[in-house]
Structure formats: structure tokens, C-alpha cells
Amino acid sequence: NTLEFKDEIECINEEAAKLKAQGINILFALGHSGYQTDQRIAANCPEIDLVIGGHSHTFLYTGNAPDVEPIEGPYPTIVKQSSGKEVPFVQAYAYTKYLGKLHLQFDKDGNLIKIDGTPILLNADVPRESDILQLLDVYRPNITDLENTIVGHTKVQLDGRSTVCRSVECNLGNLVADSMIYARVIEDQGGAFWTDAPIAIMNGGGIRSGIDKRSDGSITENDVITVLPFNNNLYAISISGKRLRESLELSAKKRTQDSNGGFLQFSGLHVTYDYRNEEGSRVTSVEVRCGECDMPDYEPLDDSKTYKIISTAFLVNGGDEYKLVENGTEPILMKWSDDEALVEYLKHRDFIYPELEGRIEVIESSTSGASNAKSIISLTLASLIMFFLRAIH
């Protein structure tokens, strides 16, 4: 608990001042904080000349789109500071599908006088490096083994899209959280009861992919590693009801900040978020699953009670600004990591079919509701157009 997360803009300005004092007059900020934060850095860091960002997988491009990704702004995007200085920032989508290319020209005083460039689509027109292909052949057998090792079967699509799991309940989030509960049950720490830790929480950003339903329903070890690549240790933690409620309020807040992954998925909770309320008062209902009971059931969260929950090392260590560990408590390291727990959970079931159970209810603000209504109308109109086009042909 000695790790402190400071404000990015404050830290950048402190370091920039030190570098300027050393006579360095051209400064780039390279980060992984998302599109909105990139813009704030460009606007509020007066010594920075260029921001190169990531995390939100934003596709910036000037001109006609080279492929299917929707363009979210020009490349580079220019932000004007209050002083009048113009600072460019760039992103180049994700997955090495594009290579960002940027040409900058500065004068002798370090002032940016010209900038141009564009992301390069790395398609079949770009020659592949033979030495890299040879190196891939060295490692390919290990990957093939993972692809051929079947650990379970699913009857349904496992939705791990970031646009879903970082903003609403997703069935893959339910599955992963349930497997965390299973990991604790197998450790048999419940005494006379079914478990001592009936609640599990994880950040939606920890789910890195979905799993498509194959014809035979198979799930491979490679699928699991693709979904949960960080091999996060699992911990059992004692937490007050008040701290748990505060964590859920933070989850509600994170949902509105670029949806960068801090929104929680969970097992053993039923939560309602009401975005008509002010920040800090959006958690309007929380029901918690009992552990010390003969049959699992739900009851209202009591701020004064202590609950034992399961979470990942990422959240336990303060990731996404969560503060799960309270003074005087010591997290208990569990036997399995998150990916190991999911593999074991799958191995002990013939088939899985996780559903959307209403663990998370989101009541949007009136503005969001209007926006959603517009989206539904647009989608309906597009569907009708496609129907008539097919009828014509």
C-alpha cells in the first residue's frame, strides 16, 4: 500500500519544467490514458509539443477511411491552449493494424512550424520481414498447443467486447466473476457454510476479448489466455459495506470516463446505477449474496457490516483508483489466478451458457435516454432500408 497514483497533468508539468531547465526545448508526451485524457494533456501542459496516446483505440485520420474503422477525428488533431499555442495529438487505432507516421518540423527555438502524416494500413500491400516470419515459426508450436487444448464448451456466445463489458453487464464478465467464486469454494474455507466469500468483483477492462461460439462449442486454453492475459492473482479481502458501496460509486463514475475499463463486473451483487443523480449518489440499490447461510440468497447491503469478497491483484493494489484494502486488513492470496480459476471452472462443466441476469441495472439520465432513442430510430431506419434493398434485388 505504498503506491501512490498522482494526477497525470500535474506530473507531466513537473517533469517538463525539469527538462526545460536542462535546455531541452522539444518535448513529447507518450502515454496510454485514452482520447479524452490526451486532449486534456494537450490543453493543459504548456511545455508539451506533441501528445502520442493510446488505450481508447481511437482511429484518427484525415481523408477517406482506408478500411472499416470509423474516423473519430483528424490526424493529427490540434488542441489550442489558452495561450494560443497549438498542440497536436495522435492515436493510430489498435492491434498494430496501422502504423502511425508523423513528420514534424521545428525552428531553432523549438517551435513547431509544420506537421503532416497519416496512419499506414498494414495490409497485404506492405511486405513482411522474412527474419520476423522465421522467428514466428520458432514460437508457433507453443501457440498451436494452446489452440489445440480444449478446456471447456459453451452453448452461447461469450461477449467480451470493451464497448459492452466496460459500461453494462456482460455474460463473459458474469462467467469470469462466477469462476472466482468457484475458486474460493474449492479452497473450502466456508466452514459449516458454502463459502466465506460470496462476492467477487473485477474491472471490465481486465476482460480483453470475447470468445466466439464455434460449431462444436469448444473453448481452448488460448481463448482463456486471450480473454485474461494478465495472470492476475486472486485475493480474498474483508471489506466494510461502506467501502463496498464507495467502490460501486467509483464504478459508476468510471463508466462515464471514456469507458476505459474501471467499470466493475461482479458475482454475488445486484446493483442499480441511476445516472439521473449526481456523481457520488448514483448507486441507489445494492443487494449482496449471503455466504454464511444454508442456501445463497440476497439481502440489502449494510454499510456497517463486514463482507469478505474476492478480487484481482490489479484492484487490490489500487488499479483504476480503487481502494479495497482498509486499514488493519490483510488480503489473503488464493491458490489460483483469474485465468486458472476460469480454466478449472470450465473443466468441471460439460457446457456453460452464461446469461445476462440483471446483476447490473443502469438508469440513464434523460440526455442519455434521448441519445439512446435516436440510436434506436437510426438503427430501425437502417434496417428498413436494408430490407427494401434486398426486396428490390
The pLDDT tens digits of the residues spanning 214-233 come to 999 999 999 999 999 999 99
Pick the closest to residue 76 from 59, 58, 92, 88 (CA basis): 88
Residue 391: pLDDT band (50, 70, 90) is: very low
Q: Do both 288 and 186 map to the same domain?
A: yes
The string of DSSP letters for 349-365 reads -S-B-----SSEEEE--
Query: Residue 89: CB partners within 8 Å, gap ≥ 6?
Result: 38, 39, 41, 42, 50, 51, 52, 53, 76, 77, 79
Q: Which of 103, 121, 139 is the last residue of a domain?
A: 121
pLDDT in tens, 86-99: 999 999 999 999 99
Q: Does residue 390 sit within a domain? A: no
Q: Does residue 134 sit within a domain? A: no
Confidence (pLDDT) at 389: 45
Q: Which of 121, 142, 164 is the last residue of a domain?
A: 121
First-to-last C-alpha distance (Å) of the chain: 65
Q: How many other CB atoms sit within 10 Å of the CB of residue 63?
A: 9
Q: Do both 104 and 170 map to the same domain?
A: no
Q: Do both 108 and 178 map to the same domain?
A: no
Contact criterion met (CB below 8 Å) for 210 and 293: no
Q: How many domains does the chain have?
A: 2
Confidence (pLDDT) at 1: 58
Confidence (pLDDT) at 55: 87
How many whole angstroms separate alpha carbon 259 and alpha carbon 35?
11
Query: Residue 279: CB partners within 8 Å, gap ≥ 6?
Result: 249, 252, 253
3-state secondary structure of 265: strand
- 8 half-sphere exposure, CB direction, 13 A CA radius: 18
Confidence (pLDDT) at 258: 63
Compute the radius of gyration of the chain from its Cα atoms: 24
The string of DSSP letters for 16-61 reads HHHHHHTT----EEE--S-HHHHHHHHHH-TT--EEE--SS--B--
Asked if residue 27 has pLDDT above 90, the reply is yes
Q: Does residue 203 sit within a domain? A: yes
Calculate mean pLDDT across residues 166-173.
97
Residue range of the domain that includes 234: 150-363
Over the range 322-346, which residues count as b (16 or more CB within 10 Å of their CB) and which as e?
Answer: bebbeeeeebbebebbbbbbbbbbb
Confidence (pLDDT) at 268: 99
pLDDT in tens, 347-375: 999 999 999 999 999 999 876 544 444 44
Pick the closest to residue 90 from 157, 171, 35 (CA basis): 35
pLDDT in tens, 85-144: 999 999 999 999 999 999 999 999 999 999 999 999 999 999 999 999 999 999 999 999
Q: Do both 258 and 109 map to the same domain?
A: no
Residue 388: pLDDT band (50, 70, 90) is: very low
Confidence (pLDDT) at 366: 74
77-80 β-sheet, strand order: 28-30, 50-52, 86-90, 77-80
Q: Do both 317 and 178 map to the same domain?
A: yes
pLDDT in tens, 262-310: 999 999 999 999 999 999 999 999 999 999 999 999 999 999 999 999 9
Q: Does residue 1 sit within a domain? A: no
Q: Do both 226 and 308 map to the same domain?
A: yes
3-state secondary structure of 155: coil
Pick the closest to residue 266 from 296, 281, 244, 282 (CA basis): 244
Q: Do both 233 and 296 map to the same domain?
A: yes
Q: Does residue 391 sit within a domain? A: no
Q: Do both 348 and 250 map to the same domain?
A: yes
Residue with cell 470516463: 257
Q: Does residue 269 sit within a domain? A: yes
Asked if residue 260 has pLDDT above 90, the reply is no
What CATH number does the domain containing 289 carry?
3.90.780.10
Specify the DSSP class assigned to residue 191.
Answer: T
Contact criterion met (CB below 8 Å) for 307 and 237: no
Confidence (pLDDT) at 189: 86
Percentage of the chain lying above the pLDDT 70 cut = 92
Is residue 208 left, alpha or beta, with left meaning phi > 0 and alpha meaning psi from -120 to 50?
alpha
pLDDT in tens, 174-199: 999 999 999 999 998 888 999 999 99
Residue 257: pLDDT band (50, 70, 90) is: low
Asked if residue 65 has pLDDT above 90, the reply is yes
What CATH number does the domain containing 81 carry?
3.60.21.10
Q: How many other CB atoms sit within 10 Å of the CB of residue 11?
A: 12
Q: Do both 168 and 114 map to the same domain?
A: no
Phi then psi for 258, rounded to 5 degrees?
Answer: 65, 0
Cα–chain center distance at 125: 32
- The per-residue pLDDT of the chain, averaged, comes to 92
Contact criterion met (CB below 8 Å) for 260 and 166: yes
Which of 2-16, 181-195, 249-263, 305-319 is most confident? 305-319
